[in-house]
Amino acid sequence: MNNIEPSSLSVSLQKNLRHMQEEVHATSDLKIRSFTMKDDVVREAAILYLDEITDTKNVQEHLLAPLLRIERIESIETIVLGHLSVIDVSIETTFDAIRNGLSKGKTLVLIDGFNQGILADSSDWQKRALAEPDSQRTSRGSMIGFTEQLKINLNLLRNMVQISSFNVETIRVGSESQTDVAIVYLEKFVDQKVLDETRKKIKDIDVTYLLEARVIEDAIEEKKTLFPLVFTCERPDVTVSALFEGRVVIFVNGTPYALIVPTLFLHYFHQPDEYNLKSGRFIVRALRFFCWFLSIGLLGLYVTMVRFHPHWLRHPFDEKLLTQSDTLMPILIEVLFLSFLFDLLAEVSLRVPKLSIILVSLIGAIVVGQTAVEAKLIHSLTLIVVGLNYLTSLNITAGGLWGAMRTLRYLLLFLGYFFGLTGMLVGMFVVTMYMASLRSLGVPYLAPFIPFRWDEMKDALIRGDLRKLINSKHTYPHKDNK
């Protein structure tokens, strides 16, 4: 007895139908519509599709109705060329190709006596309406964000970039469930080394399935790093700007944001408001850099002052706030407790219904925080410092820098508590050297500061003149460049 499963269609319709049911494990949403077609002899035929993801009206009007009107069958090719009014249609002979097509919302036509099948696109995917970006909002400019549908995201970009050099390469990732991953770039502007490296790393991904873009980020970063080397973006306008800067954009079907490479540390401090508004050209970005240093170093500086340098505050503030403090917990425990409270509030706000967020905020901020101060568990100044630290952290969370920021915050906190200001300075120096060693697809992470490149400083510390920025070509130093 031969137990080898067939890999291609046979001329028997019934054998093909039985095997197709086995291929999809007799799933209940596989629908089979049997019918007959006219020829020298009456031929049996069938239409197969998955119910939830198929537009049945489209199948009826553009597949079933034309097939029933056929008077004579010469070949499968003549049916496709002369009778079907579907744009995306192909002729397949293997069960693997047919199974993948059905899972993408296509409809299969099988005719008895032919070992070929017709796959026609009839998908009807549920789509979320376009909405404003959640974490990268702006008071002026585009109010549209990406969605989970790859085709919609590409449509948004093509609407904004109507030039012939707009290129899209689609790669399917996953040995079982194949997910479409799109590499988008402008042929005229793209950094070719970055493009080649991006394409190679995505093609080398070997996973069973792909549901989250984090897999792509890990493949591009190669090794675990403290800082993100891939920028995540929810806005089409920011993405288009990155394309004109020579960068590469990656979309994963099912993920409502784009991945942009190469990523420099500087990119996390660029926000849409700077380019849409007249005000803030010189101040806003400097404020954001200042918030970065406060977010990672304020807690460490505070505990250093309490333990080693209370004289930094003028009398009588040093006695009232520091040396004569009557709180029950040590300063380090106070800071860790409040930091834990704020992190917990942020985590809970993502898990509870939106209507309960206000209640959670009241319980955490007023009941827990105020009660802890009145019970002398924590100092009121500690509450102010930790709150200010958290606010400065939220100012630069867009793009994926939050994780690195939180790690550095606790690192400098412990260095400041045990080793004082000297320990913090040494820690900052080590972190800076570590950042200088990082590469995003071969591009130094701290460029254009390290290595210093004067021609790229026009949009670094301050936002330069928009007309000059638009007309200037961006270039990126690579690790093999001298």
One pLDDT digit (tens) per residue for the chain, 482 residues: 345 567 889 999 999 998 888 877 767 888 899 999 987 788 899 999 988 788 888 899 999 999 998 888 889 999 999 888 888 899 999 988 898 888 888 999 999 999 999 999 988 877 777 777 777 777 676 778 898 888 889 988 988 888 888 999 999 998 888 889 999 999 989 999 999 999 999 999 999 988 888 899 999 988 888 999 999 998 898 899 899 989 999 999 989 999 999 999 988 888 777 776 676 667 778 888 888 999 999 999 999 988 888 777 666 655 555 555 666 678 888 899 888 888 887 777 777 776 666 777 777 666 666 677 676 777 778 888 888 998 888 877 776 788 889 899 999 999 999 999 999 999 999 999 999 999 999 899 998 888 888 877 777 777 777 777 777 777 788 765 44
The pairing of beta strand 231-233 with beta strand 258-261? antiparallel
327-334 contacts: CB < 8 A, separation 24 or more? 327/376, 327/377, 327/378, 327/379, 327/382, 328/376, 328/377, 329/377, 329/378, 331/302, 331/303, 331/306, 331/307, 331/379, 331/382, 331/417, 332/303, 332/413, 332/417, 334/377, 334/378, 334/379, 334/382
Buried b / exposed e along 83-119 (16+ C-beta atoms within 10 A): ebebeebebbeebeebebbbeebbbbbbbbebebbbb
User: What are the counts of helices (DSSP H) followed by strands (DSSP E) for the chain?
Assistant: 18, 12
Predicted local distance difference test score (pLDDT) of residue 301: 93
Predicted TM-score (pTM) of the model is 0.82
Predicted local distance difference test score (pLDDT) of residue 316: 60
Residues 49 and 120: their CA atoms lie apart, in Å, by: 10
Predicted local distance difference test score (pLDDT) of residue 34: 93
Residues 412 and 161: their CA atoms lie apart, in Å, by: 44
Contact (CB, 8 A) for 366 and 380? no
Predicted local distance difference test score (pLDDT) of residue 2: 47
Predicted local distance difference test score (pLDDT) of residue 369: 67
